[in-house]
Homo-oligomer: A and B are copies of this chain.
Amino acid sequence: MKTVVVRNIDRADAEGVKRLGALGVSTVHEAYGRAGLMKPYMRPIWAGGEAAGSAVTVLAHPGDNWMIHVAVEQCRPGDVLVVGCSADNTDGMFGDLLATALKARGVLGLVIDAGCRDVKTLREMGFPVWSKAISAKGTVKAALGAVNVPVVCAGINVEPGDAVIADDDGVVVVRRKDVADVVAKGEKRQADEEGKRKLLASGALGLDMYNMREPLAKAGLVYLDRPEPD
């Protein structure tokens, strides 16, 4: 593992990231060909938090948050900090002091494949965090990791500068170069869904709207009027 800090990274297009944020995680994930979604154990520490930004990445070690302190300096307004860990860990690597520092630099949120603490204060500050656990467990500052190198976080390989979108449904990551394409597909999908929503609300069936009856019959689905006797 290279113990480096990369100072200059190419960030995702700010306007595009904002529009991905407006679409929300589920729509972005679908528009991205069902890719980029972190594992569902990543949960917001308070309901309703949302963030959409460009990733500054951190590789940390279990029980050690030294590299998060290092990463703060590399953050700019509009960034989301993404922390991967070299082994499974739930220690509370992040709390209100680090959040205060990140907020002062315009960082929009944190995504961490480990634990978080001071959740009450973070909720009061309105600083959103997606984490694997809530834990007060203190950490040391002993082992070097890296900042702004690719890291695996909750099953997704995140490159520095990737777009990171997070809300109540989870966290999705879009490659910088794919942002514009996903915005276009996602906004189209959203518009389509609006129409479908109205139809469904008025009692239309997905079976008809999506023309499923024929493929279902072809696949062998059988309708019975009554359960077969045992």
A37-B137, A135-B169, A203-B104 given as contacts; is B220 within 8 A of A8 (CB)? no
Does A96 sit within 8 A of B, measured CB to CB?
A: yes
With beta carbons under 8 angstroms apart, the residue of B7, B34, B140, B230 that contacts A138 is B34
Q: Are A169 and B92 in contact (CB under 8 A)?
A: yes
With beta carbons under 8 angstroms apart, the residue of B62, B150, B230 that contacts A89 is B62
Task: Pick the most buried of A88, A95, A103, A170: most chain B CB atoms within 10 A of its CB.
Answer: A88
Q: Are B97 and A66 in contact (CB under 8 A)?
A: no
Q: Are A144 and B87 in contact (CB under 8 A)?
A: no
Task: Pick the most buried of A5, A140, A172, A204: most chain B CB atoms within 10 A of its CB.
Answer: A140
Chain B residues with Cβ below 8 Å from A223 are 4-5, 7
Does A200 sit within 8 A of B, measured CB to CB?
A: yes
* Bound Cα distance A48, B66 (Å): 29
Task: Pick the most buried of A30, A206, A212: most chain B CB atoms within 10 A of its CB.
Answer: A206
Chain B residues with Cβ below 8 Å from A96 are 197
Number of copies: 6
Q: Are A227 and B9 in contact (CB under 8 A)?
A: yes
Closest B residue to A120 by beta carbon equals B168
Q: Kindly identify, within residues 35 to 77 of chain A, every residue whose CB is under 8 Å from any CB belonging to chain B.
A: 35, 37, 39-40, 43, 46-48, 61-64, 66, 69-70, 72-73
Q: Are A224 and B7 in contact (CB under 8 A)?
A: yes
Chain A 109-150 near chain B by CB (<8 Å), digits 1 or 0 = 000000101111000000000000111111011111000111
* Bound Cα distance A177, B91 (Å): 27
Chain B residues with Cβ below 8 Å from A219 are 3, 144
Q: Are A69 and B197 in contact (CB under 8 A)?
A: no
Closest 3 pairs between A and B when the two form their complex, measured CB to CB: A142-B142, A40-B135, A1-B35
Could you name 25 residue pairs across A and B whose Cβ atoms are closer than 8 Å?
Answer: A1-B32, A5-B224, A7-B224, A8-B225, A8-B226, A26-B95, A26-B117, A30-B138, A39-B88, A40-B115, A61-B63, A62-B91, A63-B64, A66-B216, A86-B137, A88-B90, A89-B89, A92-B169, A104-B202, A134-B169, A134-B170, A136-B170, A142-B142, A152-B156, A160-B227
